[in-house]
Every structure is written in structure tokens, then in C-alpha cells.
Amino acid sequence: MKDTFKQLAGLFSKSMTIALIAYPLLAAIDHFTEDSFGPFVQYKKLISTIWTFSSHHWEWIAVAVITMILSRGSLSLYAPLAQEIRHNLLEREMTRWLNTPYISPLHHLYMIHPPRWIKWSDKNPFRDTFYQFIVQAFRDVVYRRYDYTEFAPAGKRPTMGEVVPKKAWVNIAIYTLLGAVLLSVSFMGNGLNFFAGYYKFMIPVVIALFVRAAVIGLAIHDHANWSKIDQQLMDTFGQKELKTRWMELFPNQPRGKAILETWKNECTMRQDRDYQFRLTRRADVSSPNHYRQTPLNHAYDNPALPLCPFPAEQLPEWAENYQDMYVDRIGEHQQKQQNEIKELAKASGGKVVAFGQRKRKG
């Protein structure tokens, strides 16, 4: 949408420039010809028609111009909010899986399918640091040995209300309420003929307020909605919450090699597009699937590029015993569950039956 505004502004600017240059040129030609110069006559008629129309409808023209100006500024609300929501969602998901031997499915998805740039951003999209954050979070944990205590994520997935900052909801309410108040004022002054007279100058403000609320709502819908993420998870893993052990992501494993290959390609692509953006000031945000990569002949100087996902080429010493540790932990966990069931049954006088036993009896 920002590009549309720029194109319209550029078209208007070029039209005005051509009109200003054309008048003296055509007037000079008309002056040196014996008869009236036809193009100049038509040009004056066109100018007269435009002037007549503008003088009769100047209010609506002003309303349209002001509306475009005010609404254009509303788009700047999208990118910062979308970025904050993406961070909140990923952080909460990583925390939910922290005490398990598994990587968060969302984190895993982002490691092999890096999230793309956010639209309507005024900044260089190839210096967005979200992918850097994703890889650094992976790097901090992949070789860390810790005592996990659970084999299922803690609680439910983060909801929209948990990942969207409160100020976003407040802003939606304020913008919507103010727009409704202005409509009410206009209605009380003109009845069903809302914007008669000078009330029509409320239109740009009302539209700008509703557009701001809509842009915030769109950012929430695009980045706090699990439906799109679930579709990606299903397409990639075949299920929404695949339990992938960290050891399966080591660089000597197929999935770890895929992560490493993705990182190399992503860094090359981001560096190349960042370089081209600095040269042309035009962002190539086309899908990487249709991007023809060429060998880089310049330095990797993009500060938003992440370090290698793996802190070292060699695996930690304890990695050889990871499988045994995992099996032991599962055994301990199952034994703990059985003991809890026995204690519960004992406390209830033997009336509690384990779910598995109840199912077999049925």
C-alpha cells in the first residue's frame, strides 16, 4: 500500500511538471503561428475544464488528498507491532518446551523455514534481527546439557491475548471509539446526511482513525493467529507438535545438516539483497524459492546475519551418552507416574483405576 501511495504521488508530481512545462512551450508556438495553434487551444480548454471542476468540488478534492495523507501514516503502525508479536510468540513457545528434551516445533520450523520480512516497514528488511534472534536462541541451547523434568510442554499454547501487547488493544479501542464519536457528532448535526457542509472535513479524520485500528488488527491477525503457523507445521512436519529431540538436530544428524544448509543459504541471500538494497534503495522481497543466487563478490558485512547455529564443530563429550540419558529419564518419568497412581489409589481406598487399566477392562 505504501508503494501505491508513492506511485500516485509520483504520477501526480510528473503530471504537474509536464503541465507547467507544456503551457509556455505551446504558448510560444501559438504566438509564432498565424492561426490559432490547435493543441494549445485544446490545452486551454482542458485547463479550463479542470479548473471549473476543481472550483466546484474543491472541498471533496481536499478531503481526498487529506485522507490519503493521514491514512498513509497509519501504515507505520504495522511493522513494530508485528515484530513484537512474533518475538513474544516465539519466546513463550520456547519457554513452554524448556523443561523437555525437545525443541519447540515453532522454533524448529523457523530454523528450516526462516520467517520472511514484515510488510510496510520503513527499515531495511534485510537487516531485520528476528532471524538472528532465532538462530542465537538455538545456538544457546543446542549443546547445553541440563536436567529436563518433563516430556510434554507446559500448559497450552500462548493465546492471542498473551502475545499481543495490551497497548495494541487499547489503541484499537481508542481509535474505534474516537471514530464512532465523530460519526455521532456528524449524525447529530446532519441526521442521515452525515457529512453535509463543513462536516465533510471530518471524513479524513474518521477514515484515518478506522484505518489505524484496522492496521493494528491486521498485524494481530497476521502474526498472532495460529492457523497460518499450523498450516506450515503440517506441511513441514505432518503434525502440529512434533517432538524432536535436541540430539536429532546435532550437525552430524540429517535434520542438523538441513538447519546448517538453511543458515548458509539464508545468510547468502540476505547479504546479497542487503548489498543490492544499499546500491539501488529498492528491496527485493520476492520469495527465496524464486531467487537466483549468485556467488558473492563482496564482504559479509550485514550486522543482522546470525552466527553459525552450532557453537562448535565437535559435539560435546556427553553427547555420546545422550541416548542412554534419554532412555533413563523416560524410565524415571514412567516410574514416577506409576508411583503417583499407586499413592492416589491407596489414598482413595483402591477406588482409583489407572486410565490404561480402565480402557483394557472396557
* Mean pLDDT to the nearest integer, 177-191: 82
Band (264; pLDDT cuts 50, 70, 90): very high
CA distance linking residue 119 with residue 75, whole number of Å: 9
Structural domain count of the chain = 3
pLDDT at 35: 67
* Statement to judge: residues 141 and 251 lie in one domain: yes
Query: Which residue intervals of the chain are DSSP H helices?
Result: 2-31, 38-56, 58-74, 78-96, 105-112, 130-142, 160-163, 166-190, 203-223, 226-237, 254-280, 322-347, 355-361
* Statement to judge: residues 10 and 90 lie in one domain: no
Does residue 211 form part of some domain?
no
Residues of the chain above pLDDT 70, percent: 69
Q: Could you tell me the residue range of the domain that residue 152 belongs to?
A: 77-165+224-315
Work out the mean pLDDT of the chain and round it to a whole number: 81
Does residue 253 form part of some domain?
yes
* Mean pLDDT to the nearest integer, 113-142: 91
* Statement to judge: residues 96 and 233 lie in one domain: yes
Query: Which residue intervals of 251-354 are DSSP H helices?
Result: 254-280, 322-347
Band (362; pLDDT cuts 50, 70, 90): very low
> Which range has the worst mean pLDDT, 40-54, 124-138, 285-299?
285-299
Residues of the chain above pLDDT 90, percent: 40
Which residues are within 8 A (CB) of 122 and not within 5 positions of it... i.e. 6 or more apart?
76, 79
Q: What is the pLDDT of residues 228-263, one digit of tens each?
A: 999 999 999 999 999 999 989 999 999 999 999 999
> Which of 84-93, 189-198, 276-285 has the highest average model confidence (pLDDT)?
84-93
* Mean pLDDT to the nearest integer, 164-169: 96
* Mean pLDDT to the nearest integer, 267-283: 85
Tally of CB atoms within 10 A around 310: 20
Does residue 216 form part of some domain?
no
Q: List 157's β-bridge partners, or say none.
A: none
pLDDT at 107: 97
* Statement to judge: residues 309 and 339 lie in one domain: no
